[in-house]
Structures are given as C-alpha cells and as structure tokens.
Structure 1
Amino acid sequence: MSASSFQPVPSERFQPVPSERDGGRPRPPKVFGLGLTRTGTRSLTAALGVLGFDVVHYPVDGATYRTLLAGSARFPLLESHDGLTDITVVPYYQDLDLAWPGSRFVLTVREEESWLRSCRTHWERPLPDRGDGRDVRLESDLQRFLRAAVYGCHAFHAERFRGVYRRHVAEVARYFADRADDLLVLDVVGGEGYERLAPFLGVPVPDEPFPHLN
C-alpha cells in the first residue's frame, strides 16, 4: 500500500462537530498519528507542533496507563492536548474516531525491509533512564502492554512484525475507504512532509525543513 494511493482533498482547518455523547455540544477535533513504531511518528509529532498542534508522542503517564488497563480510549491527555501519536493510538483509533468526531488521522508508513531493520535495532535497546523524572517501571509496564496489544509479543519477531504491519495498513485503508479527507498516508522516512501534511490539516506550509528525529 503506497502513500500515493490516498489523495486527500485540501480543506479549511477542520471545525468542531457536535457529539451525541456530549449532549450535542461541539468537541474540538483532534489529530492522531496511527503509524506503527519506527515509521516516523516522533518526526510527525514535531512537525505537528510546528503547525500549531500540541500533540503528545507515546504518552507514558500513569493516567494513560490506568485508562488503557480499564479498557477505555478516553485518554485524559486529550482534554488538554490536540492529539496523540505512536502505538498508543493503534489499537484504539476507531474508538477515538467515534469519541472525537471530525478528527484527522495520519498513518505514517515506511518501506518494509527498512522498517524491520529499524525495529530490530530499536527492540534490542534497553529503556533509557532519561533523568527527566519519568517512572521507568511504569514506562516498562506500559511498553509491554502496548507491544502485546499491537504486535502480539514483546520481543522482536520479524515475520510476525511484517504481518502486523501489512494488516494494520490494510485495515486502516478499509476503515477510511470512503473518507479520504480524514486520513493522510505519509511516508516521512521516504521524504514526504509539510507539502502534504499542511494542506491536509488546512494550515499553511511552513518555510522550514520537515523535522527528522530518530
């Protein structure tokens, strides 16, 4: 599935849509990155920040973990942020679509063999102690939870990951099949960037390079 299969229609910056869950009151739409690990989700998050969207990459806070353990996709962070990215979103994107009508979704993709090599390297690295006050044990528990939910395993397994990648891209394509204006498939690693992302979100293309973070 190539990114070029999806050609979203440029639009004005999206507007709140009334939600029946909240008595018809408008809820501001969100932006969600539903790409798998090592597909450029961190770069996407930085780019969304440049475009004016306060989006959280792979949240590892206690409230998020408790929410997931309770089987809910009502992430507390979404009350104060514009969206989420990375595998935190992957198992719950359909729930988030229902909870936040009018939201936009960005599926980051990557050439398959390159992606598998990057995943292997990433999985072999231990969790770092960043010295920023994060609870390393909490982060480890959340990592195990999400890896099991998304990949069905905790350790790297190339063929399993390959199947997960292909199924995820295909399932997202089917889910948004009649909603091309709500989904952007973006190959950040392959060089795509603001020229596609900014029009999709209805904001100007910034005069600066697209961020590429590891």
Structure 2
Amino acid sequence: MSAFNPPATPYEPYPALPRQPRKEPLKVLCLGLSRTGTMSTWTALNKLGFPCYHMVECNLNKLHGNSFRLWRSAIEAKYYNGKGRKLVTADDFDELLWRYQAVTDIPTVLFADELIAAYPDAKVILTERDVEGSMKSMENSFYQILSWKIWWFLELTDWQHTRQYLPLLRYPIDIWTKGDPENRDKLRQGFHEYNAHIKSVVPKERLLVFHPRDGWEPFCKHLGVPVPDEPFPKVNEGDFVADLHSNVIVKWRIMMVLTGFAKKSVPVVVAGLAVWACWLMLKKW
C-alpha cells in the first residue's frame, strides 16, 4: 500500500500567484463524492501528469487567502442565497483552477453539472463504492471532525482560515441530505441520487465508472495514457482525514492564532487560551 505523503503542508503553501492564462486545458473531471476513493484518484492523476485539484489544494493554493472565500461564496450563491458570483463558465472556474488539469472531491463536485458543461472535452470519472462503506467513512471523517469542540475556539479567533474553511466541510453534508445533515438515511439517498444523476447526464463514451480496486488499466485506457509499472495508489484509509485535520490543520491554526496574540502583547489571554487549547488537544478536541 502506498503511504500518503502530502506534496506540501499548510506550512509550505504554494506561491500566492494571481490568475494566469491557462497553459493546458482541464482534461479530467473526477466527480465522485467524498469517501469514494477520491484521494487515491487524486494521487493517481498527479502521478500520470495531470495536476489535480482536491480539497487538500484549498489549504495549499491560497490565492492570497481568497480560495476559501471564493468557494464558499460560490456554494452559497448556488445552493443557499442566490447572491454573489456564481461559477458557471470555464472562465469562472479558471479563476480557481487555472493551474490544474484535473479536479476531484469537494468543493468541485458541488458544481458537477456546471463543470460538465463548461469543459465539454474533459473526460469524466465517477468514483463509486458501496454506499455503506462510504457512510462508515463519512462517520470517521466529516462527522468526527465537525464534532470537535476546538472549532468553536478557532471560529472565534481565526477569521482568515477556519471561519472560511469550516463551511466547506459543513455545506456538502447539508446539500447531500437536502438540509438534514444528521439524517444518515438522507445521506445514503443523496449518494445514490447523485451517482444516478451523473450517469444520466454524461454520455457513456465520456464517462468511466471507477473504483480504485479496478486498477490502472481502465483508468489509463479512459484517459489515453500509458499504464504505470506500479500498483494503483491506495490512500486515505480509515481515520486518515481526521488525523490529517488533527495533526496538521487544527494544530497549525492554533499555533497561528496564539502566535498572533503573542505578537499583539496579550500575555494573559495567550496563557489562558494556550492552556485551554492544550487541554482540548489532550482530550482529542
């Protein structure tokens, strides 16, 4: 099994470059929902030479801190309030995706129909697994992460990152359950309905329904590229996502917040918050 090593960490974000002209077209739309092997396909696409956008990229490709805000605003415009800038055309999406040739997982799957229409020449891959397996994985990732009490502290003190980032975790469940995020039956139904929808709107010659256990052969055949001489990536198992948030994102943001308070010379506040944050760490949030 391939061990997942992120290409960078939040401590080493990509250079915050302004939008540039796209050098390569967006070639692959991997539109499976979260917890269906999207991290494995993200790794595979990068190995094949298709720079791929994934939720991980939101933490690395900061666009001067605006990528979270842009995605959040677009999600709210489409699903909630109808206000703000919507993502519809390739030009709209390229503000966020100009340096990528592929996409997978949230937040992009929340705009599946728009992406399919905006990039008509892109191949579509629908990662699909047993829905009950996805439900178990959702419990160990999204639901576990969102239950942490530490988010209250970070939402209060970390406006630039956490306050913009958390909705990108909350909104998908709310959308897939049609506004009833604690209802697991509605989540199951949402997964089934989404998969059926993608199969109904994408022409068969453009679509590959895929599970990582299928391996490189169908994946590479669909994309028209050679098959690598190594196993298909198998990453993001078990509690990986929760561990990533715990060991990287949350601890990193706590450190940034406390450092910010220290620079502003608020020693009593820093000491109190540091003790409380450390207690939460020991209590696993």
Give the TM-score of the pair, scaled to structure 1. Answer: 0.75
Equivalent residue for 2:279? none
Equivalent residue for 1:93? 112
Q: Secondary structure at the match of 1:125?
A: helix
Equivalent residue for 1:121? 140
Which aligned runs of 4 or more in structure 1 are off by greater than 4 angstroms? none
Structure 2 distance, partners of 1:118, 1:143, is 14
Unpaired runs of at least 5, structure 1 = 1-26
Match for residue 105 of structure 1 among 114, 119, 124? 124
Mapping for residues 1-214 of structure 1, pairs under 5 Å: 28-58=25-55, 59-60=57-58, 61-62=67-68, 63-69=70-76, 70-73=85-88, 74-75=92-93, 76-126=95-145, 135-153=161-179, 155-176=181-202, 179-188=203-212, 191-214=213-236
More strand, by proportion: 1
Unpaired runs of at least 5, structure 2 = 1-23, 59-66, 77-84, 151-159, 237-285
- Answer with 1 or 2: which has the greater Rg: 2
Greater RCO structure (CA 8 Å; 6+ sep): 1
Give the TM-score of the pair, scaled to structure 2. Answer: 0.57
| Percent identity over paired residues | 31
RMSD over equivalenced CA pairs, Å = 2.3
Q: CA deviation at 1:144?
A: 2.1
Give the count of matched residue pairs.
180
Residues 99 and 160 of structure 1: CA distance in aligned 2, closer, same or farther (over 3 Å): same
Residues 153 and 50 of structure 1: CA distance in aligned 2, closer, same or farther (over 3 Å): same
Q: Deviations over 1:167-191 (max 9, x none)?
A: 1111111112xx2221111112xx1
Q: CA deviation at 1:99?
A: 1.3
More helix, by proportion: 2
Structure 1 distance, partners of 2:49, 2:220, is 10
